[in-house]
Structure 1
């Protein structure tokens, strides 16, 4: 049965929500810092992370949509209470990221307007909450993330072109790095599909409450589109940063991503950074709030009925904590690592659950995805363990 044409936009909405949830302030900060450390060799890290991301998303999207239940319900079906535990760690990771997202939104709007960063953070949070107050909040949210997603990728592409990176060196080191950095791999994977991010798209598809069954081939295609969209942004920012640092220029350590845009394209580039940072941050604020709330709203009809209110409260609390602790630059990198640690556990739970007919019902998960998913989860767990020991 083919998916009706009027449902096809749901796939793009889910893909963009996943991608823009990933492309936040932490994403920009991680990419810039690791490029400065690894230079062209960071291309290898990106290539490996894309392959891992695709395996992770194909498994998670297909299992959730195939079984037609959110991740926490699948986990509870595997073992009572496991879903509550999964919800707890996902919300913790999402909350850690969202404080950074609010900080990034304030920083981006500060660059654009010149206002105080705290006022900019409050203004950004108000915009996010206002979007949720719209009559058709889901449609408004979908359109919002699509437009801003396209805008920030386009502006970053301009800056990458202006930076003139050494493309031959990038290609060579992507295939043959000087020394693979596995901490960078798990941090980048965590920043792209770790924690709540890997569930954003699949939970968005469930939230549409489609009356027609989704074709799993199209679900897979949407999952891959989401990864490629997020990865295109990472590649462009990597090229822009590399073009700057290989010329001997040093971005501002207090705000490395902004420094890259300014050094590559002057004051206009700096203003572009403000737009990109704000777009990345505010879309991630929405994605984090939506996905985190989707992990608790199924526990009681009252919570399900008041999802929008919970999302607003999530954004408001994140803003209050940011105003209290200040700008958490280090948190942006560590949040990616935290979510990278959560990822293998989340993936293994779903892979274990889908093996039981009482849970999967009529859905049959492809064996090649199960095997590749288990291998990826175990590799990530080993790398995470080594990183923690160090």
Structure 2
């Protein structure tokens, strides 16, 4: 007989799944959302509605696979494509690894940008310090309590942004309309892909699927819905707070806005929250890449290949962090890369959750769930393809 959902288990599931919402409230979200508000007003709010519900639909499907079979998403995909050997798992892993490496670039840059605002120290030395600490913590495995603490700081920063957003006082009717009516202002396509890529995080599908074991369907669904909607709400208030930025978006200008609205502690909270979001995600992205490799390719957590994946992701982040490019520009671009890669991961998830040979009927997608997943694939593919086409045109001109 299925276990009923008690108040205690429900609250426990919400806290358990808050790791997913905390994972996408990183420097990418802070940057892309506030920049969207600063540059395009409320016009891109609909993207956050689409991306938030897309996260729920995809994460729920990935986690349902684990509950139904006892295997995580990567293991299920590898099993479903076993007749093709390692080709599909390897290609999918490479796509996820590329996405994690791109995220890591934004994570380290975000963490260092927060530290620069706090200390005024050299970005180059702070980048090396952040990368070294990440390597040490991942090597000894003591990351969970740090990530949890920093996650609390990130949500505190979200609360500060919510206060500031209400101070921006946009008309409620306009906000509601912008949440559901699509608009694509001129020049906004890269930022649209960034908003999708920073919210529907491809590696979270593997990461979340792997930590689902032991939960019932009702616990999992309640936890995902509430935790992800909370993350979506924070993204929305970040965008609305961006309406107050004048003179172009930058981390300094955003800190100034919070200083003006909340006093000196507001700017400090933004700087520390930006560091916390970046550093917590700097621990999560390499680990998620390695967990995906273990899931898809069967590598042991003690193997040299597993460790190489961890080091490779951190190395890419350090390389971008030590470059002289504008951190805001890099963060937006790498989030867009993940938005473009998303359809590939989603397609294999769609095939896996509908596989009659692997998934019992009661755990496979309903027609409504299939429509929701296909809409995520098609819209992400169209927007990502459009973005790539515009980039090709620029190269040819």
TM-score, normalisation: structure 1: 0.83
Distance 2:50 2:376 in 1: 11
Q: Which of 292, 299, 311 pairs up with 1:295?
A: 292
Match of 2:89 in 1: 83
Q: Does 1:66 align with 2:63?
A: no
Q: Residues 241-281 of structure 1: CA distance to partner in whole angstroms, max 9, x if unpaired?
A: 11x14xxx324547554454345445433222101201111
Q: Does 1:108 align with 2:109?
A: no
Residues 300 and 49 from structure 1, CA distance in 2 versus in 1: closer, same or farther, beyond 3 angstroms?
Answer: closer
Q: Which of 205, 208, 211 pairs up with 1:201?
A: 208
Residues 70 and 84 from structure 1, CA distance in 2 versus in 1: closer, same or farther, beyond 3 angstroms?
Answer: farther
Distance 1:52 1:302 in 2: 31
Question: In the TM superposition, what is the alpha-carbon distance from 1:23 to its structure 2 partner?
Answer: 1.5
SS in 1 for 2:153: helix
Match of 2:231 in 1: 230
Q: Residues 75-109 of structure 1: CA distance to partner in whole angstroms, max 9, x if unpaired?
A: 22222321111111001011011011111111111
314-323 vs 97-106, greater mean Cα deviation? 314-323
Q: Which runs of 5+ in 2 are unaligned?
A: 391-397
Q: Is the 8 A contact 1:75 1:353 kept in 2?
A: yes
Q: Residues 155-199 of structure 1: CA distance to partner in whole angstroms, max 9, x if unpaired?
A: 323433454445453234435566576665443121111332343
138-147 vs 91-100, greater mean Cα deviation? 138-147
Question: In the TM superposition, what is the alpha-carbon distance from 1:282 to its structure 2 partner?
Answer: 1.2
What are the equivalent positions in structure 2 for 1:1-390 lying under 5 Å apart?
1-2=2-3, 11-12=13-14, 14-79=16-81, 80=85, 81-129=87-135, 131-132=137-138, 137=142, 139-140=144-145, 143-176=148-181, 184-205=191-212, 210=213, 213-242=214-243, 244-245=244-245, 249-253=246-250, 257-262=254-259, 264-265=261-262, 267-298=264-295, 299-300=297-298, 302-304=300-302, 313-314=311-312, 316-327=314-325, 328-360=327-359, 364-367=363-366, 368-390=368-390
Structural RMSD (CA): 3.3
Alignment: residue pair count? 379
Q: Residues 204-251 of structure 1: CA distance to partner in whole angstroms, max 9, x if unpaired?
A: 33xxxx5xx421122122222332132122112112111x14xxx324
Q: Is the 8 A contact 2:289 2:310 kept in 1?
A: no
SS in 2 for 1:41: coil
Q: Residues 50-81 of structure 1: CA distance to partner in whole angstroms, max 9, x if unpaired?
A: 23332222223323443332333222222232
Q: Is the 8 A contact 1:76 1:84 kept in 2?
A: no
Residues 372 and 320 from structure 1, CA distance in 2 versus in 1: closer, same or farther, beyond 3 angstroms?
Answer: closer
SS in 2 for 1:303: coil
Q: Which runs of 5+ in 1 are unaligned?
A: none
